[in-house]
Structure 1
């Protein structure tokens, strides 16, 4: 974990007046041989399965459980969306009727509800105003998204204060809740909330929450000359804009992203979307923690979505699932290796390389299965055209859409999983594939590079090598990895089988990241 041994700082500016800048020569981190239980509050825009758009929702769901089973008291605060999956919320009831949240020169009346989501203790904030912040048809995608989540962040902090809650740790996520540490330091510490420390996790730097000065009047921060300071919230590229994510980086006690490699790429390799100078300024409180996956959901030994369950000692059951997958998709039942792609049809995911991989796999004597869709009609139309072109092939099936049952069956039935991303903060696809013994073919970026180790070229011991990796984002790079995977399957089946077993032995549950986050919490709590 990069940066965890460095000196973390209290939320807000340091004593020398520079926001969040730590000493040049930090002392070593203290050790915690025995740790007391913590009161941890997660403030998030999403949590699976009640409000899910992407991987952030899975992280909040999985990490919350891991922290709780380690003996900590964990609560989650979410917006009460109209689109919540109420069938996953149990004992939902009102717990705070008159929460008045300051907004512009007045206040908005809110009701707070409590319910259990698969054992997780969750509070849902429902504002009553003409702005109708969360009673909409989707979670994101509105012109006032910045104001919606600025309000939610202020409401969450107001609720903690009014309810007399003083957590040890507040863990917030992405730009949507990046104002939480700003509010804590600038408003609520002055009201007596001196106990909490804040950890901010950034799941994707591509979205930062840029806005104008109106935000300050709305949220009660006022003082534009203070917040438009370059060392606070002023955007690095646009001097007339405020950047919510930058504010989170400046004011939080510790900032993580979802893999060590992505932390380095965002700080030093141009993937910080303009925040690179800020990350350098605050690098002593910045690091990466690889996400986990929920092994209660993604586990071939107990998976109810697949016809034949299997494990490391019963790996032949995987081939029964391969036959079931071929039968479901009406593909030829032969000796060919099956390559799969599961994911959003988004340019980030390397769609031109996915297209090339389909034809390359078929030419090299393999089968190809794709499951995914795009919110972009043009991309969807392109893949529908590809589907029609290959419709008569007995070795290819493209499923444009999403099907939960089918995704499990593909993970269980495919031999290789392609993840050729342009950039990838962490990636869950390769982690799930490893659990199912489906050999990942990945590009060496972000979390992919941190979790997949090349069979032929890795410096890792042989038993830790679990896939095929390529460096350059081009067709030759893709072919170098995919070609080796197909050749190994055809020519050295026993080697390929060992690779499958190596993949299944890897532990990418929430066990290790759970401990990483507890180390961070303990560290910043002592500051």
Structure 2
């Protein structure tokens, strides 16, 4: 099957969050299954630099009249065949400072509607034989940045512009809270017929919603965990789109994200000072060394007996970080340490900086993102904190599981699907992998932290649960097979 994956970022070339990890791993898993998978990416500088052998494919007009080029090359991958990639060569739109979505002042670019409409438009052009040597059978668009691809395909199909066999479309929601909302005056730039700007299309309270376009027009919709697929059909988690999602529930499914073993493996991870792979206590010396070295590196007290809680996250309200701040005194009073890596809302950054300044031997805060440090934190950590208000899937807890850093999570979304609570009364089932709480309140979070300390003090039980966690399967082969089934459904 010829499958075109469309996303705004892709690991290892460009990453701002978990979307890049999924966009980088899924095509490789599909290729390993024998599928002909290619990716389409915007020509951000890091992507242009990372795709090798770029050659011209064709030029095409954007809906608003500018002319751009499509290029083709390959992305080198460790231990796997190179990934075939199309890149939109549009320096005027993509060659800018800041991250892919915001300028250096953290303000969204004023022409983001054009920058990401072009991504969906190019996908639809490929479906209409823009590359005479390769035409996708399925276009798989990821999150709001690529969400117009299904809309463009729908209206091209209605107009009879698709040549040859039918091209199916799949849209994956990675986080419904980020919808790509734009002013109504941007609609004429998109090149869609007037019929698309209505309640059963992109219109959302008088504005333009890219996310809604993907949800309305895709042949099949997926999201990144089974629980989140159910939650987004409720008013509490539907972000104003729950009615539409209930209406389309027959084509909506949840496929749990997986972890790329070539990138995330404590046995082979080059970022770790010493690898470890067997979850049994006699072979975990590498983890103890990782902890000792990281404590020294971060200026924390070098105490092997102190449980090290780690937090690798965007610093936003969604991630439940006020719970961590509210419970920090109790965590430190019980002898724990906290190491944080992340960036986000200014008040959260400053609050954590202040706590680190007040207790530098117990709290370390690194603002920003550092891929190697993230790996080192999972390698060293005892507990991975993910107390989110909502969490579509979450990869952080999966990395914690693989690296023996037991996740402490709220029972929501993909966190509920991947972490089994540890009960001190019964650890014999072989299923417990972490600590789970229900209510989004400091008191519930604190109780989960106390249970983590209690288990940590029972070393044989801790090792048993850690072994369960590290053995939990999270392979891409299973996820890829589920996506292939969805692609077949999209083809009808």
Tell me, yes or no, if the aligned pair for 1:412 and 1:438 is still in contact at 8 Å: yes
Q: 3-state DSSP class of the match of 1:217?
A: helix
Q: 1:134 aligns with which of 77, 89, 94?
A: 94
Aligned length: 473
CA distance in 1, matches of 2:426, 2:89: 52
Is the CA contact 1:421–1:442 (under 8 Å) kept in the aligned structure 2? Answer: yes
- Equivalent in the alignment of 1:509: 475
Match in the other structure for 2:71:
112
TM-score (norm 1): 0.85
1:404–1:227 CA distance, 2 compared to 1 (3 A): closer
- Are residues 1:82 and 2:50 paired? no
Which of 174, 183, 192 aligns to 1:221? It is: 192
Q: Which residue does 1:101 correspond to in 2?
A: 61
Structure-2 separation of matches of 1:231 and 1:458: 52
Q: 1:128-168 CA distances to partner (integer Å, 9 max, x unpaired)?
A: 7xxx2112123112111112211221123224422233322
Q: Distance in 1 between matches of 2:84 and 2:391?
A: 31
- 1:80–1:126 CA contact under 8 A, matched in 2: yes
Q: Does 1:482 align with 2:482?
A: no
Partner of 1:416: 383
> Is the contact between residue 288 and residue 304 of structure 2 (CA under 8 Å) also seen in structure 1?
no
Q: CA deviation at 1:286?
A: 0.7
- On the 8 A contact 1:341/1:419 being kept in 2, the answer is yes
1:430 paired to 2:397: yes
Matched, 1:180 2:149: yes
Q: Is the CA contact (8 Å cut-off) linking 1:101 and 1:154 kept in structure 2? A: no
The alpha-carbon distance between structure 1 residues 496 and 473, as it changes in their structure 2 partners (threshold 3 A), is same
What is residue 131 of structure 2 aligned with on the other side? 163
Contact 1:453 1:460 in 2 (8 A): no
1:473 to 440, 443, 446: 440
User: In the TM superposition, what is the alpha-carbon distance from 1:371 to its structure 2 partner?
Assistant: 2.1
More deviation, 157-166/465-474: 157-166
The one of 252, 276, 284 aligned to 1:310: 276
**Where does 1:215-254 land on structure 2 (aligned, <5 Å)?**
215-222=186-193, 224=194, 226-235=195-204, 238=205, 240-254=206-220
Corresponding residue to 2:20 among 57, 70, 87: 57
Shift of 1:214: 4.1
State the 1:215 CA deviation. 4.3
Give distance in 1, aligned partners of 2:388 and 2:358. 24
Q: Indicate the residue corresponding to 2:106 in structure 1.
A: none
Matching residue of 1:122: 85
Q: Is the 8 A contact 1:95 1:114 kept in 2?
A: no
Task: Please provide the CA RMSD for this pair.
Answer: 2.1
Pairs within 5 Å for 1:373-522: 373-374=343-344, 376-391=345-360, 394-456=361-423, 462-490=429-457, 492-522=458-488
User: Aligned-pair distance for 1:507?
Assistant: 1.1
2-side partners of 1:506 and 1:250: how far apart? 36
Give the 3 Å change call, closer, same or farther, for CA 292–85 of structure 1 in structure 2: farther
User: Which stretch shows the higher mean deviation, 465-474 or 194-203?
Assistant: 194-203
After TM superposition, the structure 1 stretch with the greater mean CA deviation from structure 2, 161-170 or 433-442, is 161-170
TM-score (norm 2): 0.91
> Does the 8 Å contact 1:178/1:244 carry over to 2?
yes
Residue in 1 aligned with 2:326?
356
Moved more, 475-484 or 143-152: 143-152
Aligned match of 1:143: 110
CA–CA distance in structure 1, aligned partners of residues 247 and 465 of structure 2:
42
Q: In 2, Cα distance between the equivalents of 1:425 and 1:461?
A: 30
Q: Which 5+ residue runs of structure 1 have no aligned equivalent?
A: 1-37
Partner residue in 1 for 2:490: 524
In the other structure, the counterpart of 1:43 is 6
Indicate the structure whose relative CO is greater, using CA pairs within 8 Å and at least 6 residues apart: 1
Tell me, what secondary structure is at the counterpart of 2:297?
A: helix
CA separation of 1:494/1:521 partners in 2, compared to 1, >3 Å: closer, same or farther?
A: same
Q: Provide, for residues 191-218 of structure 1, a one-character-per-residue CA deviation record: whole Å limited to 9, x for no partner.
A: 2344211110011111212234544432
Q: Give the 3-state SS of the residue equivalent to 2:89 in structure 1.
A: strand
Show the counterpart of 2:267: 301
SS in structure 1 at match of 2:90: strand
Q: Note closer, same or farther for the CA distance 1:457–1:448 as it changes in structure 2 (3 Å cut).
A: farther
Where 2:232 maps in the other structure, the secondary structure is helix
| Residue ranges of structure 2 left out of the alignment (5+ in a row) | 103-108
- Contact 2:187–2:208 (CA under 8 A) maintained in structure 1: no
